[in-house]
A and B are shown apart, each in its own frame.
Chain A
Amino acid sequence: MEANNAELSPYHVDKKVKKSMKNNKYRTYIKKLIKSKTGIVGFVLVLSICFIAMLAPLLAPYDPYKINAAQMLIPPVWIDGGTSNHILGTDNLGRDILSRLIYGSRISIIVGILSVVVAGFIGVVFGLIAGYYGGFIDTVVMRLVDSFLSVPTILFCLVFLTVLNPGLFTLIFVIGVTSWVMYARLVRGETLSIREREYVKAARTIGVSNLKIITRHIFPNVISSVIVISTLSVAASIITESSLSFLGLGIQPPTISWGIMLSEGREYIATSWWLSTFPGIAITLTVLGIIFLGEWLRDVLDPRSRGM
């Protein structure tokens, strides 16, 4: 037994080396982040929006739901008639726009992330199965994907949402179900190429089961591209959520979302532009931040640029 331990020792010593290697890896990630200016912008934007969403009750100067008939349609502070009490002004019911923006970020983040999780899960599972087994299963899945692609996402969502009860989780589910095709196509394509690698052949000669080959050999090698497009599609989901809420089929008032703020401000756009402009800017900045972050992630995770 002692002899065994003596023989094993180099393996255990190596754990320290492994730790330092991991640190090195993170250091190269950080180095790459600092090098990429858009990466930093994206990182800072996304991080601050997450913080704002989490700390909304502390940051918001007013109750976002509180109606104040005496202070309707006050313009932002830098316009004549604006007051420093309401920096971004108030809406048609006298509610503070800044507070509403801060609370609205929560919905956007939740919908954006959860719908991508739903879509990613469905898409990855279908993509792996279609790509690995090929043949008839592949044909069926890909025809399904084609038929989903032939209908515009927003129309799909509209149909679903009019049938189902509108609400936060319905919305997440619907956006997820309508956008899984992107993942399925991507994962299928990657699986097709990885399936032919010799390490998959090696696993088959060993006698590893198909399920294990998929989970241990194929999935870990497609996950990095899935992560990259899922960051990008968080942005798309936020926009879809806003559009659906704008159309009145997404989040229902009085719950606040940026899309609802946009749609409520629409009637006043000629006289009080700030009602819909600020949520619009918020959506743009969030989406831009996520896209920048996604591009940086692609640089870091893409195997082709790895090691450079």
Chain B
Amino acid sequence: MQKTLKSNIEDDNTQLLYLEDVKKYFDVSDRIFSRKKEYLKAVDGISLKVNKGETLGIVGESGCGKSTLGNLIMGLLKPTEGKILLEGTDLTTLNAKHLKKKRSEFQMIFQDPFSSLNPRMRVFDIIAEPLITHKIVKGKELEQRVLNLMEDVGLDVSYSDRFPHEFSGGQRQRIGIARALALKPKLIVCDEPISALDVSIQSQILNLLSNLQRKYQLTYIFIAHGLPAVKHISNRIAVMYLGSIVELTTKDQLFRNPMHPYTRGLLSSIPILDPTLRGNKQNNLIEGDIPSPVNPPSGCKFHNRCPFATDKCKEEIPSFTEREPGHFVSCHYSIFDL
């Protein structure tokens, strides 16, 4: 199942991050009344590679495990199984000291700019914290670095003495971006960085992120719950459903030729602004809720919500295969048969 993907990966040195069959199960068994072990399979066998300099969008409903995946990559959670390789180093086996050192290479931007900044710290101290923690610079140089970072993200340097509550959501997100940039990381995991912002601010932050990407050769993993958010910034998009990736391909292919029924459903859930175009839209909306990851459906996990499901789907787990170059889908059927 992973072989098809793996053979594609091994050769090149353009890859920055490589996940190999990563699983994260949370123990949710009832300790007192039942001896049966129950697990919440938040991330259930994900293999993925991220190339240097690209933006990989990860999209899925809430509860599909995309944030858990982000936390696993950031080393905030230990995977139950699998490897996470950053430029060949397995992050899951590093000891605390080495992991701390390695942390300067991958940073995170958070969803909620109102809870991601310590309300008792000044902007200067927030942005300086990574530099101080890793003992990179100090004194005058530190001051200069922090002010440069503030300029980089479009903050007025005269605000460095203020507290987070004196800023708007967009400005606070800029502070969070400056903090993530401070260590000059190679990889930044953006966990829904624009979903908590005003619509008018969202595009500003997206533009800022892509400018910074060009300037510092950053690689992004961009997590979002809908396709519109990742459409502009991503090179490739992975669609997640219940702990697994169901479709992975370039942005253009995904929008032009979605192969998984779930992806098609997601695409048709995007509102169309122009009413005259609405008539042509295929109505593929998916009904119902995401099933519990404690008791995922047998066979293809999507079968109970899939409009095209057959008996085969209920029994056999579909493999994640490459349908056309760089386009991976896990579905028994080709979309053309359906």
A residues contacting B by CB (< 8 A) are 4, 7-8, 10-11, 13-15, 17-18, 197-199, 201-208, 212, 216-217, 220-221, 303, 307
Cβ B76 vs Cβ A217 within 8 A:
no
What is the CA–CA distance of A88 and B116 in the complex, to the nearest angstrom?
60
> For residues 87 through 105 of chain B, which have their beta carbon under 8 Å from a beta carbon of chain A?
99-101, 103-104
Q: Tell whether, in the assembled complex, residue B157 and residue A10 are in contact, meaning their CB atoms are under 8 Å apart.
A: yes
Q: A10-B157, A197-B115, A221-B119 are in contact. Are A202 and B143 (CB under 8 A)?
A: no
Tell me the B residues contacting A by CB distance below 8 Å.
74-76, 99-101, 103-104, 107-108, 110-112, 115-121, 129-130, 133-134, 140, 143-144, 147, 156-161, 165, 176, 179, 183
Inter-chain contact A201/B157, CB cutoff 8 Å: no
CB pair B157 A11 closer than 8 Å: yes
Judge whether A4 and B144 touch: CB under 8 Å. yes
Name the B residues within 8 Å of A4 (CB-CB): 140, 144
Let me know if A14 and B104 touch, CB within 8 A.
no
| Nearest chain A residue, comparing its CB with the CB of B134 | A207
- Interface contact B133-A208, CB-CB below 8 Å: yes
Whether the Cβ atoms of B110 and A201 lie closer than 8 Å is yes
A199 and B118 in contact, given A7-B147, A207-B133 (Cβ under 8 angstroms): yes
A-B contact pairs, 14 of them (CB 8 A): A8-B147, A10-B157, A11-B158, A13-B158, A198-B111, A198-B115, A201-B108, A203-B129, A205-B107, A205-B108, A206-B134, A208-B129, A212-B133, A217-B118
A220: chain B residues at CB < 8 Å are: 118, 120-121
Given contacts A7-B144, A208-B133, 16 further A-B contacts (CB under 8 A): A7-B157, A13-B158, A198-B112, A199-B115, A201-B108, A202-B110, A202-B116, A203-B129, A205-B74, A206-B134, A207-B103, A207-B104, A216-B118, A217-B118, A220-B120, A221-B120
Instruction: Tell me the number of A-to-B contacts counted with CB atoms below 8 Å.
Output: 84
CA distance A199 to B183 in the complex (A): 17
Of chain A, the residue at the smallest CB distance from B106 is A205
Q: Are A14 and B108 in contact, with the CB atoms below 8 A?
A: no
Determine whether the beta carbon of B103 is less than 8 Å from that of A206: yes
- Which of A18, A198, A220, A307 gathers the greatest number of chain B CB atoms within 10 Å? A198
Given contacts A202-B179, A221-B120, contact A11 B108 (CB under 8 A): no
Taking a contact as CB atoms under 8 Å apart, the answer to whether B100 and A207 are in contact is yes
- The contact of B160 among A11, A303, A307, by CB within 8 Å, is A11
CB of B157 within 8 A of CB of A206, answer no
A199 touches B116 (CB 8 A): yes
A198 near B147: Cβ-Cβ < 8 Å: no
A210 to chain B, nearest CB (A): 10
- Complex CA gap A285/B157 in Å reads 51
Q: Please name all residues of chain B whose beta carbon is closer than 8 Å to the beta carbon of A15 when the two chains form the complex.
A: 161
Whether B112 and A11, one on each chain, are in contact in the complex, defined by CB atoms closer than 8 angstroms, is no
| Interchain CB contact under 8 A, B120 and A206 | no
- Contact check, B133 vs A206: say whether CB atoms are below 8 A apart: yes
Distance of A18 Cα from B161 Cα, bound (Å)? 7
Pick the contact of B143: A8, A217, A307 (CB < 8 A).
A8
Question: Residue A204 contacts which of B76, B118, B183 (CB distance < 8 angstroms)?
Answer: B76
In angstroms, how far is the closest chain B Cβ from the Cβ of A76? 51
CB <8 Å contact, A11 and B117: no
From A201, which residue of chain B is reached at the shortest CB distance? B76
Give 7 nearest A-B pairs by CB, closest first. A198-B116, A10-B158, A207-B100, A220-B120, A207-B103, A199-B118, A198-B110
Nearest chain A CB to B280's CB is how many angstroms away? 42
Chain B residue numbers with a CB within 8 Å of A208 are 129, 133
User: Which residues of A sit under 8 angstroms from B76, Cβ to Cβ?
Assistant: 201, 204-205
Q: Which residues of A contact B130 (CB under 8 A)?
A: 206-207
Minimum distance in angstroms from A245 CB to a CB of chain B: 40
Chain A residues with CB below 8 A from B116, complex form: 197-199, 201-202
Q: A8-B147, A201-B76 are in contact. Are A14 and B160 (CB under 8 A)?
A: yes
With A and B bound together, what is the CA distance between A92 and B105 in angstroms?
79
Task: Return the chain B residue nearest A220 by Cβ.
Answer: B120
Q: Which residues from chain B contact A204 at a C-beta distance below 8 Å?
A: 76
Residues of chain A within 8 A (CB-CB) of B183 are 206
Q: In the complex, what's the smallest C-beta–C-beta distance from B159 to chain A, in angstroms?
A: 8
Closest to B141 in A: A4
Q: Chain A residues with Cβ under 8 A from B100's Cβ?
A: 207
Q: How far is the CA of A217 from the CA of B129 in the complex (A)?
A: 11
